[in-house]
Copies of this chain bind each other. A is one copy, B any other.
Amino acid sequence: MGDGSPLPRRRRTHTGEQRGTSLAHLQPAKTTPPRIVLVHSPSAADGPVSSAAVPRRADVVVVGGGVIGLSTAWRAAQAGMAVVVADPEPARGASWVAAGMLAPVTELHYGEEALLEANLAAARRWDAFASELAAAATPVGYRRCGTLLVAADDGDRAWARELFEFERTLGLEVEWLTGRQARLMEPALAPGVRAALWAPGDHQVDNRLLLGALLVASRAAGVVVVPESVQAVDVTAGSVSGVRLSSGTGIEAPAAVLAAGCRSGLVEGLPESVLPAVRPVKGQILRLRPRAGGPALGRSVRAVVEGSSVYLVPREDGSLVVGATVEEQGFDTTVTAGAVYELLRDARTVVPGVSELALDEAVAGLRPGSPDNGPVVGAHDAVSGLVVATGH
């Protein structure tokens, strides 16, 4: 995600927003009956530009066209640079498989106070960022809805209460609610919900609208989006001299931004020492569609259910994003029966009416996990012109 996004999490009890590699788009509604079926990504041939249009040179090549890559490219183009974004499937990737939670408070982990500060600072910038992007392109579904962290049973309540006390000592804006108070805010919550932590500052963005807006804004600012993967970054005499695409085409450039998510460490041509230590952290999410009689949530709900975490993020159109698993499975994006089962089980526990919603989509993505859960961002001394931006 962009600046204010939460960080990927490795622990099941603290799932962050989802990032992944699945790239297909939602099919438009038709009159024939629907089903859920495995589909695959649009091919590179469907991409926004043909290979014939690949520029020979640029001021900077951004490797990866997710939220981070496109945001970087947009800003670079606004600063007057000639920018190329290379991604086999632009505006998809990890950023597509996400819930868009911008929730530093309800995602806080013990021992990550420094990261919290960075996340809070980023979250504060989201309002302006969303407005600027909407004005430059299209709305991004930024909702100042807060987040309710719900505890399902007594053990979950104890865990949430500890987090609440800890957050109070940090001066964070949080409020403790009884189960009844939580249900007054969200009547769709199960009667059994024990308590909740209310974080009024933890908001959300519609990650798919965001990707679309970034693509429009980037292009409008002059960014050329090339639907190809980068095979290698070329280094000459210690400086970036360009990139080579998977097709063999070369682009000359004095600078490159590594923003390829969990694949950022796989680019060839660079010394081992500068490659970011990111790994794929699999997350599976569901998208549910509203139906008559189905529950409506007014705000994001994060829940702890017998120690497991699940979140339900309502979009403006009434649909619900339910996430997410946290799995160390390597580069595997299979949607598994077990993950879908567990997500539905936990979601139903806190919002029983979820059963009545239509299941529109299940998808797995790969977050770029970093050793300390923090983003890996910055220029490298070892290779002049190389900037890393991943692990968000």
By a beta-carbon cutoff of 8 Å, the part of chain A in contact with chain B is: 20-24, 26-27, 29-30, 32-41, 43, 89, 97, 286, 288-289, 291, 333-338, 340-341, 344-345, 347-348, 354-364
Contacts and interface: CB of A to CB of B under 8 A. Distances in A.
A330 to B, nearest CB: 12
Given A23-B32, A33-B23, A35-B39, A336 B364 contact: no
A364 B22 contact: no
Given A337-B357, A341-B355, A354-B337, A363 B89 contact: no
Given A33-B22, A360-B38, A286 B27 contact: no
A21, A97, A341, A355 interface centre (most CB from chain B within 10 Å): A341
8 contacts: A22-B34, A30-B43, A35-B97, A35-B361, A37-B363, A38-B360, A340-B344, A341-B355
Contacts of A35: 22, 24, 38-39, 97, 333, 335, 361-364
Given A334-B291, A345-B345, A24 B37 contact: yes
Given A38-B361, A340-B359, 11 more contacts: A21-B33, A26-B37, A27-B37, A33-B41, A35-B364, A36-B37, A37-B37, A288-B337, A336-B356, A338-B344, A359-B362
Given A37-B360, A333-B33, A341 B338 contact: no
A291 B289 CA distance: 29
B40 A32 contact: yes
Contacts of A356: 336-338
B337 A355 contact: yes
Given A35-B22, A37-B36, A358 B333 contact: no
Contacts of A360: 37-38
Contact of A341 (B33, B344, B361, B362): B344
A50 to B, nearest CB: 19
Contact of A39 (B21, B23, B39): B39
Contact of A337 (B21, B34, B97, B344): B344
A340 B36 CA distance: 11
Contacts of A336: 291, 355-359
Nearest to A21: B33
Contacts of A363: 35-37
B36 A362 contact: yes
Contacts of A39: 27, 34-37, 39
Contacts of A358: 38, 334-337
A11 B337 CA distance: 25
Contact of A34 (B40, B286, B355, B359): B40
A363 B38 CA distance: 11
Contacts of A97: 35
Given A37-B39, A37-B361, A89-B32, A355 B334 contact: no
- 7 closest cross-chain pairs (CB), A and B: A338-B355, A35-B363, A33-B333, A32-B41, A36-B362, A341-B344, A22-B35
Contacts of A335: 34-36, 358-359
Nearest to A30: B40
A103 B32 CA distance: 30
